[in-house]
Amino acid sequence: MQLTLPSTPLAVVTSHMALIDWLMIAAYFAVLLGVAWSVVRKNQDTAADYFLAGRNLGWWVIGASIFASNIGSEHIVGLAGSGAKDGVALAHYELHAWCLLVLAWVFVPFYMRSQVFTMPEFLERRFSVGSRYVLSVVSIITFILSKIAVGIFAGGIVFGTLLPELQITLGSTVIDSFWIGSIAVIILTGLYTVIGGMRAVAYNDAVQVVVLIGGSAVLTFYGLHRLGGWGELRQICGPDMFNLWKPLVPAGQSASWAPIREFNAAGEVVRQAWYFNNNFPWLGMAICAPVIGLWYWCTDQYIVQRALGAPNQKVAREGSIFAAFLKLFPVYLFIIPGLICYALVKKDVIPEMTAAFTEKGSQGAFPMMVQYLLPAGLRGIVVAGLLSALMGSLAGVFNACSTLFTVDIYEKLRPQASQSELVRMGRIATAVMVVIALLWIPVVKGAHGLYEYLQSVQGYLAPPIFVVFFFGVFWKRLNKHGCFWAMVVGFIVGIFRMAVDTPITLGLFKQYDHGSLLWVVNNINFQYFSILITVVSAVVMVTVSYLTEEPNQPQIQGLTFATASAEDKAQTRASWNWKDVLGSLLILACILGAYIYFTG
């Protein structure tokens, strides 16, 4: 259908979505705007109000916001696509809910006692101001290049799949659904983030989690019902797709450490790479994935900022435990729908979806199920859930970037700045992030293989951060010199690998000269290279620390396990009860049960 508006060369074309779907999406946005408006009416004149919601968030808001920040559109689309292609292999990453329990029980006491705004600020108190600056700059760059970029790209894919014919024609210029959806969601998300700050982000996240989980659960139910039940799904997919480990070792290969060789038609080796089955070797899963998970859930500003918004240790811990519980859902609500899509296609239950799957591939599994399985109305709710995922992750990164810039850089350069000036600068920084996101859209859409590249970014930049935080809390002898040089050396190695990968990833040329240093670096699996960076950072930190003076004991008082006072320990003990312990044990039992069920 084409609609030409009077007196303007504007045309809008759309399909697939019924009127009731648009009404459901409009109702969803109305709720979000209502929540944002109620937040705006609250006083936000201080930095604590704007960046940490006045340190007054409830445990359920903290948990929901952590989960919503983690689950973006790329998460849903990517996990479902992986489920349709490789089965439950990537459930390894989702079963890292235990990392949130490490945040709850290990790091929350230190963060809450220090009353910091940011992770770099905590690093300054434990080590030095130089470490704070390094982490602040690297974190902001990482957020812009990875989280914002991936969020925009996946959002455009969602709109392009569900609304392929949505377009606006301005004269001879045609703006397709990718641009329309990405720009609209980014601007709306940036608007409520700029105005409402952390409180608006957190409470809108709480609303979004309900829609996201509810919509995905409905889709899973409809898919299983159409297929014929869980037993039918297992029978069609076979045991390998329900095995966490089998897809990580390709057919004909044992779990050896030898490189895999790729041959051309003449039998010549054209590529030799240290990986098993694409990008997810079993050894990398066993070692690298937990390192990245602990960095992300325990030390990343993007996640931890929600816990910092709690009034005390008790609420922060309960919120983190609740987030760990919610983190169990993606395996069943995003990966399993991918398997259902695969089974529906293999059984040819819906010929239209089979044809679309054959044409577009597995990455469109989730949007295809929304399009071909759900009735009008419910389809709108699930689309709203996808928008929720995109908006939640983007809002989180916008707010985290503005907090890092304002608190860790601007306030250090202008220590006399008033609270209102800091809030104003935070809003300006968020607006700048929105502009950068908009300018990044052409790069995301035009680059070849960028999504795969961005998946490895955190593998190159996270290890030194993991090392300095975990070693710093557990090992009191490590000092500011060891921390600073561990981060500098680790980041240099990681950025070197990114610089080597980028020309190949963007398709500037096919590969480096066979056997050269750059070829070897490019061919080492990113998870193995991440392990290398972790080892190098740890060795540098320990060596430099022991070659220099011991840390100032009064400075690190209460910031390591060994220097925590009896009063600190008593305060921490009083902040938890048997319910927190039972909840944590149940989460661990669920994770163990999933590993048992999906192995064998």
Task: Inform me whether the pLDDT recorded for 207 exceeds 50.
Answer: yes
Residue 514, pLDDT > 80, answer: no
Residue 372 has pLDDT above 90, yes or no: no
Tell whether 539 is covered by a domain: no
Mean pLDDT of 159-170: 68
- Strand residue runs (E) in 77-213: 167-170, 173-175
Q: Kind of pairing, strands 167-170 and 260-263?
A: unpaired
Give the total number of structural domains in the chain.
Answer: 1
pLDDT category at 227 given cuts 50, 70, 90 is confident
pLDDT for the residue numbered 5 = 32
> Nearest-CA neighbor of 534 among 469, 484, 477, 460?
460
| Mean pLDDT across 326-353 | 85
- Residue 500 within a domain: no
H helix or E strand, kind and range, residue 501: helix 480-505
Percentage of residues in the chain having pLDDT higher than 70:
74
Q: For residue 29, what pLDDT is reported?
A: 77
Q: What is the pLDDT of residue 492?
A: 93
Q: Which of 76-90, 93-107, 367-381 has the highest mean pLDDT?
A: 93-107
The answer, yes or no, to whether residue 245 has pLDDT greater than 80, is no
Residue 300 per-residue DSSP state:
-
Residue 348, both tokens = 């040819």
* Whole-number pLDDT of residue 163: 67
In this prediction, residue 485 carries a pLDDT of: 95
Local confidence band at 547 (pLDDT 50, 70, 90 cut-offs): very high
| 76 in a structural domain | yes
* Helices assigned H by DSSP within 277-331: 282-299, 301-308, 313-326, 330
**pTM for this one?**
0.79
Range of the structural domain that residue 108 is part of: 2-249+301-446+583-597
> What does the H/E/C string look like for 433-468?
HHHHHHHHHHHHHHCCCHHHHHHHHHHHHHHHHHHH
Give pLDDT, residue 535: 95
Locate 182 and state its tokens: 């990405």
Report which listed range, 26-30, 41-45, 203-207, is most confident. 26-30
Does 158 reside within a domain? yes
The answer to whether 259 and 68 are in contact (CB under 8 A) is no
Number of CB atoms found within 10 A of residue 555's CB: 14
Give residue 161's pLDDT band: very low, low, confident or very high (50, 70, 90).
low
Per residue in 102-157, pLDDT (tens digit) is: 999 998 888 888 777 788 888 888 998 888 888 888 888 777 777 776 677 666 66
pLDDT in tens, 462-504: 899 999 999 998 999 999 999 999 999 999 999 898 888 777 7
Q: pLDDT grade, residue 255 (50/70/90)?
A: very low
Whether pLDDT at 284 is above 60: yes
- Strand, coil or helix: what is 385? helix
- The predicted pLDDT at position 285 comes to 74
Q: What is the pLDDT of residue 478?
A: 92
| 300-324: pLDDT as tens digits | 887 887 888 788 889 889 999 999 9
- Angstrom distance (rounded) from CA 80 to CA 227: 17
- Assess whether pLDDT exceeds 60 at residue 450: no
In 171-304, beta strands by DSSP E: 173-175, 260-263, 269-273
Q: Looking at residue 434, which CATH number applies to its domain?
A: 1.20.1730.10
Q: Which residue has the tokens 């990833």?
A: 505
pLDDT score at 266: 62
Instruction: Name the residue type at position 120.
Output: P
pLDDT value at 593 more than 50: yes
Give the pLDDT confidence score for residue 178 in this predicted structure. Answer: 67
Task: For the chain, give the mean pLDDT.
Answer: 77
pLDDT of residue 449: 45
φ, ψ (nearest 5 deg) of residue 447: -75, 145
Residue 275 domain flag? no
Above 50 in pLDDT, residue 14? no
Q: Is residue 472 part of a domain?
A: no
Least confident of 12-26, 335-349, 531-545: 12-26
Amino acid at 175: I
The backbone torsions φ and ψ at residue 261, rounded to the nearest 5 degrees and listed phi first, read -110, 140
Mean predicted confidence (pLDDT) in 562-582: 86
Average pLDDT score over residue span 353-370: 76
- Is residue 165 one of the residues assigned to a domain? yes
Residue 394 has pLDDT above 70, yes or no: yes
Q: What b/e sequence results for 491-526 when a residue is b if at least 16 CB atoms lie within 10 Å of its CB, and e otherwise?
A: bebbeebbebbeebbeeeeeebeeeeeebeebbbbb
Q: How do residues 411-442 score in pLDDT, each as one tens digit?
A: 777 878 777 777 778 778 777 777 776 676 66
Task: Specify the pairing of strand 2-4 against strand 10-13.
Answer: antiparallel
Q: Write down the pLDDT at residue 429.
A: 79
Residue 377 located in a structural domain: yes
